[in-house]
Amino acid sequence: MKTSDQLIIDKITQELEIDCIHLNRGRDGHLFKNRLDILARPSQRDFPEQVRPVIDAIMKPYPDVGYSVFATNYARKEAQEGNLYFLNNCNRNSIVYKNGGDNSPIILPDMEPTKLYETARREFKRNMARMKSFRKGASYFRELGNLPQSAFMLHQTFEQGYRILERFICGRTKICHSIKNHQGYVLKMLDKFGGTFQMESDMDSKLLDLLEDAYSSARYTHSYTITKNELEQLSQKLSFFTKDIKTLFHRELSIFKRNIDNGIFNHKEELDLVTPNAHRTKAEPYVRRLEFDNSFEMLCKARSLLLLGVTCLQEDVEPPLHVNGFDYNIVEVLQLAIELLPLKETSP
């Protein structure tokens, strides 16, 4: 580690209380030469926002060094869900500072690395399918001659693409609908990639404005015009953009696979750090995650469970009617809950 890197780390750790810092070198296509990934203590909910001005002041003399700051709980959760940003950048090979205490400084989930590999692939495939659906919608409305709606669907496709890209390139997605803001956010990490709008180009600036206006018009003004040629140009941009998302993802996935093969994710060596349920000192709830393809499927499952509850409480089964000081007719409550499920509103 360079002297300047150590100097920065020393300054940060003197000013702030954090869990750990990881140092990552920029690869081909990255805008930064070095980046510090700083993980905050879980108890400090607003840590990233509160300390950013402090870190900015420390980093100002070092323009070649970038940084990202996350809450440790968020980073651990994302790693458990196969976010390649944390799996590739917050492992034991990159750690340069570790605070004492009980908190785990290494973002390794309580899962097998090979399962995480498959999780990352599966989630990417699912998200890309959603992006493909938006693009099909754009083509559909274009064929109908509804060009404004086609442009709106192209906007949604770009936005979905950026959300996919941001998660494994930046660590978190940017919550906004502006493609210009999404592009600026990603370009803080990447030097360039396909499908971007060059702000110095009059043509690209106009296309980006058309894309931005497509969303605002659909939501608010309902006054918007675009030509077939402009739609075609946006569609070409989208093709390059989609291709580069896939290229960048598979690059990160291959890095993760190489790290697995090199034994970086050896659970036995760091079981006390990485396994949430190991060495439990007090009773903690076990969390189970349910996955549904869409909200309609989720509500149908919920409805089935409620119907089962109603059935079990018929005639020969006497439900408890006195709960927490209140009298309830459990059957009536379950039947009401069934009626309240918005199945029609969420049906595809």
Is 62 exposed, middle or buried, given 0-12, 13-18 or 19+ CB atoms closer than 10 A?
A: middle
Residue ranges covered by each domain of the chain: 3-110, 113-260, 295-346
What's the number of CA atoms in the CB half-sphere (13 Å) around residue 254? 6
330: number of Cβ within 10 Å = 17
* pLDDT given at position 127: 96
Domain 113-260 fold = Four Helix Bundle (Hemerythrin (Met), subunit A) (1.20.120)
102, two tokens: 């009980």
Q: For the full predicted model, state whether its pTM sits above 0.85.
A: no
Helix and strand numbers, DSSP H then E, in the chain: 13, 6
**CA-based radius of gyration for the chain:** 25
CA distances, 259 to each of 17, 34, 125, 212, 272 (Å): 29, 19, 22, 40, 21
At which residue do the structure tokens 């190991």 appear? 278
Beta-sheet strand order (sheet of 18-25): 65-71, 34-40, 18-25, 95-98
* pLDDT given at position 107: 52
Residues of the chain with pLDDT under 70: 1-3, 29, 31, 42-49, 100-111, 267-294, 297, 301, 307-336, 339, 343-348
CA distances, 173 to each of 85, 95, 119, 136, 333 (Å): 12, 24, 18, 24, 39
* pLDDT given at position 330: 62
d(CA 177, CA 134): 15
340 Cα distance to chain centroid = 31
Question: Does residue 20 sit in helix, strand or coil?
Answer: strand
Calculate helix-pair angle for 147-169, 228-261, nearest 10 degrees: 20
Q: State the DSSP string of 187-236.
A: TTTBS--TT---TT-HHHHHHHHHHHHHHHIIIII------HHHHHHHHH
96, two tokens: 């340069």
Contacts of 39 (CB under 8 A, 6+ apart): 18, 19, 20, 21, 22, 69, 70, 71, 72, 75, 90, 105, 107
- Over residues 209-222, the pLDDT tens digits come to 999 999 988 777 77
Q: What is the three-state SS of 313-342?
A: CCCCCCCCCEECCEECCHHHHHHHHHHHCC
* pLDDT given at position 131: 96
CA angle, 138 as apex, 132 and 140 as ends, to 5°? 105
270: number of Cβ within 10 Å = 14
* pLDDT given at position 275: 33
Given the candidates 3.30.2250, 3.30.450, 3.30.300, 1.10.287, the CATH classification of the domain at 3-110 is: 3.30.300
Dihedral angle, C-alpha 138, 141, 145, 147, nearest 10 ° = -50
Q: Which of 151, 131, 157 is nearest to 229 (CA)?
A: 151
